[in-house]
Structure 1
């Protein structure tokens, strides 16, 4: 019986997959399969993957979409074909530490957890490495804290397939953000690992910083969360996810991309209709001061100061 299915969507990216494939071959945990879904690449990625599969010792399947549908649809196809009891995810240009699967799997088993979450490193083009982590004692393995503080990447979790009951939405730059909080609500127990086990390759993202589509993707992601939120007694967490994703993430990216002022202010108004006392949310006090400053400007519709904040923090990555 296969314990873990590792799912990798790809599009025109075989030339960037060396580290990814090598890290899978180097895994200290051996009972896993790899499912790579080619999202109708226009180069020779699919042919090269077939050639690699024929030579590799990995338990590898290569599937192909009949048309380009995005990473969400590619992952859904892989999940449908997965045989593992657990699901893991990797992007084609990123890579695992050699003990990623072993530590994540053992943490789930030893703690009888449905989900394990790890930390990660950002690897920039000049090989500069930035470590990103949340200490386990900050979350205290508390479900409410984990839902509100969890990373927005499927690549940082190992999850029991039996609780992965949602379809990943096809939202460009927003599918992980939409699905992860919902998966967290399904878990009876979640364990956090302080180790940085995932390497996230950072490309030149200047074009993304002014991309209006990010603004709309974040809004679609939060709507997907609201439409599928089924857990009773967690309204405070749903509201806070909206504060993070809409009032901070979407608005910051919208202002950065020069979305019209009336659209920004209308989104604030719509959120206040849904959550009139959002600024009293108990989770806000745990946010960094700079985030709370922006939210202060949002609460009082101080658009000029919101713009100034975005200008000062324009070098930050998007949510």
Structure 2
């Protein structure tokens, strides 16, 4: 019996140092009915050359490469949503990589739990620690998307049936929380069922020039709060809860700013 096709959408912008490792980790997947769509978002390094070299070794017949001018992560993800032909899909950033059974585990969990979205922990392999660690007995709750600053990683497995017309918001293109709105739209608007699994992890690379690191302290936290308010204001049915979440977020921002400023003073 033919298993469902899973589209893996790889986004790359100036990740020449890491893109080969990312793609090779996909090639080694134990799940074999895979379609790969790779997008070079106007890289100015030799990412394009590295991608073209690496995909020569792709074991998957459906391997596609697209290269355009720089348009931003959410624009590229929307391109992937339009062009993917799989029954399920996974987004992977070009500097991350996955364990060989990552796709198979997420897919099997989706079938077993009848879940539309399956996500796992994020493993910072450089510092040997989890990002936003979730306990083994964690059960997804919508409020955690706000109080824990989005618990679902962008490389979760998604059943394409639940996506419908949902896209990434281009107002949040290359912004903090660029994927939070997408998840909320699937969960709140399209009633997606979410499941968290401890059986695998996303291998995540923390870079100093990432969105979360490349701004000054006040600017970064201002954008965090601004984007948070913009997103929650879109969901009228959650307005009452959103006000509570915003208050908690604002308190978190103040605390984080103070801590970072104290750290700066110490240095």
TM range (shorter): 0.7 to 0.9
Paired positions, count: 253
Q: Which residue of 1 aligns with 2:228?
A: 222
* Distance in 2 of aligned mates of 1:95 and 1:32: 16
* Distance in 2 of aligned mates of 1:154 and 1:28: 21
Alpha-carbon offset, residue 130 of structure 1: 0.7
Q: Which residue of 1 aligns with 2:204?
A: 200
Alpha-carbon offset, residue 19 of structure 1: 2.2
Q: Which residue of 1 aligns with 2:184?
A: 181
Q: Which residue of 1 aligns with 2:84?
A: 82
* Distance in 2 of aligned mates of 1:213 and 1:8: 29
> Unpaired segments of 5 or more residues in structure 2?
none
* Distance in 1 of aligned mates of 2:114 and 2:152: 23
Per-residue deviation, residues 27-47 of structure 1 (Å, max 9, x unmatched): 111112111111111233223
Alpha-carbon offset, residue 227 of structure 1: 4.4
Q: Superposition RMSD on alpha carbons, in Å?
A: 2.9
Q: Which moved more, 1:92-101 or 1:160-169?
A: 160-169
> Unpaired segments of 5 or more residues in structure 1?
256-306, 315-319
SS at match of 1:154: coil
* Correspondence list, 1:1-319, <5 A: 3-58=5-60, 59-65=62-68, 67-124=69-126, 128-132=127-131, 133-139=133-139, 141-144=140-143, 148-149=147-148, 150-151=150-151, 153-155=153-155, 157-164=156-163, 165-170=165-170, 171=172, 172-174=174-176, 175-185=178-188, 186-204=190-208, 208=214, 210=216, 212-229=218-235, 232=237, 234-249=238-253, 251=254, 255=257, 307=258, 309-312=259-262
Alpha-carbon offset, residue 207 of structure 1: 5.6
Which has the greater radius of gyration? 1
Give yes or no for contact 1:4–1:31 (8 Å, CA) kept in 2.
yes
SS at match of 1:151: coil
Give yes or no for contact 2:144–2:151 (8 Å, CA) kept in 1.
no
Q: Which has the higher contact order (CA 8 A, sep 6+)?
A: 2
Alpha-carbon offset, residue 173 of structure 1: 3.5
